[in-house]
Amino acid sequence: MPELPEVETVRRGLLPHVAGASVREVVTGDTKILQVDPEILRHELRGQQIQALRRRGKYLVFEMDRHYWILHLGMTGQLTLRLPERADQPFVRHPVTGLERTVQHSPDRHTHLRIALSGGKELLFRDTRKFGKVFLLERSTEVLASFFSRLGMEPFTPGYNLHSFLEALRNRNVRIKSLLLDQSFVAGVGNIYADEALFEARIHPERRVRSLRRWEKLALYEAIPEVLRRGIDSGGTSFRDFVNGDGEPGNHLEELKVYGRQGEPCRRCGAVIVKIVVTQRGTHFCPACQPRRRVHRRTEATNPEN
DNA sequence: AACCTTCCCTGATGGC
DNA sequence: TGCCATCAGGGAAGGT
């Protein structure tokens, strides 16, 4: 479940290796993930130079000479760099977490795209569940803008500001967890960081947008970039499949406050973290820190946190 | 507008 | 040991 921090981790890891490199050859495997004709992808990409590698929400955007080559990692997508001087290693399964650590693996039946670059390096796109997507767009500002037209605010950019945030909440009344998963609201937030942000802002995931107090909206506005930032700082969350461009897992799993911690004590108050289903998604929260209803005024008055 | 279901896909898991 | 059912989940699509 690569979300913004995981995709950003991949981007940062790959950037120094791929910037300026040219595509020597493109080999396609299972073409289900391709949103472009395989023949066109193979033919067009060859010879083009990678001028920049950017990110928008959960999308990776390779800026080529004549095209934007765009990837979405879906649920289990792994984009890794294979270096000629580094020997391939077998998959290693962590005995406790079950995490498949790949380091540098040789292409297998789940490797659906291989991009050989100048200098002998190779980009491998591996995706067991094939929810990933590969696009090829004409390099044009208008085409790119159109492609991302349904994406919402981008955290860490001027587009993410309090005014836009409050504006996007106006006239909505969905459960707040649903809205956080909606990429047209804030781009890049997925199931893990949605739960983490709501915990940070102390908001119950099933609260309706209209019921949120102004201070709660402010708290959420600040919590979103905060939890994303922490995720990036620790190299992403490896819950199952995530690995960075070097094939290594992230270190953020153990820092999560609620996601995947059902049955365990809240790190803030000690109450038991619970897991429910909201909008068909597993949702984790602390029932004490994130009460469904606002605590009684009298209780609030005696609570130093308020 | 909000919400639900279905689909895509594979590996892990649990029941028998 | 094996076989089947179930589940997870990002995102789009279609129905209520």
| pLDDT tens per residue, range A281-293 | 889 999 999 998 7
Tell me how far apart the alpha carbons of residues A306 and A121 are, in angstroms, rounded to a whole number: 55
Task: Summarize the confidence of residues A240-260 as an average pLDDT.
Answer: 77
Q: Quick one: angle between helices A214-233 and A191-200, nearest 10?
A: 130
Residue nearest to nucleotide C10 (CA to C1'): A74
Reported as a single tens digit per residue, the pLDDT across A101-152 is: 556 777 888 889 999 999 999 999 988 888 899 999 999 999 999 899 889 9
In the block, which residue shows the tokens 């984790």?
A: A284
H or E element that contains A138:
strand A133-138
A189 - beta bridge partners? none
User: Tell me, in Å, how far CA of A177 is from C1' of C12?
Assistant: 19
A71 - beta bridge partners? A60, A134
pTM: 0.90
Query: Is A3 marked active-site?
Result: yes
Please say if the pLDDT value at position A168 is more than 80.
yes
Instruction: Check residue A101 and give its pLDDT.
Output: 54
Please say if the pLDDT value at position A183 is more than 50.
yes
Looking at per-residue confidence, does A237 or A235 come out higher?
A: A235
Reported as a single tens digit per residue, the pLDDT across A27-70 is: 998 888 899 999 999 999 999 999 999 999 999 999 999 999 99
Please say if the pLDDT value at position A301 is more than 50.
no
Reported as a single tens digit per residue, the pLDDT across A94-108 is: 544 444 555 677 788
Please say if the pLDDT value at position A300 is more than 50.
no
In this structure, the number of other CB atoms found within 10 A of the CB of residue A175 comes to 17
Active-site choice (A2, A5, A155, A249): A2
Reported as a single tens digit per residue, the pLDDT across A254-276 is: 778 998 888 889 999 999 999 88
Looking across all nucleic acid strands, the nucleotide with the smallest C1' to CA distance from residue A184 is: C11
Looking across all nucleic acid strands, the nucleotide with the smallest C1' to CA distance from residue A100 is: B11
Instruction: Check residue A252 and give its pLDDT.
Output: 73
Query: A259 and A236 in contact (C-beta within 8 Å)?
Result: no
Query: Is A58 marked active-site?
Result: yes
Task: Summarize the confidence of residues A214-223 as an average pLDDT.
Answer: 95
pLDDT band for position A180 (cuts 50, 70, 90): very high
Instruction: Check residue A22 and give its pLDDT.
Output: 97
**Closest to A290 measured CA to CA, from A218, A199, A211, A221:** A199
| Residues with Cβ within 8 Å of residue A145, at least 6 apart in sequence | none
User: Tell me, in Å, how far CA of A76 is from C1' of C13?
Assistant: 22
Active-site choice (A5, A6, A44, A58): A58
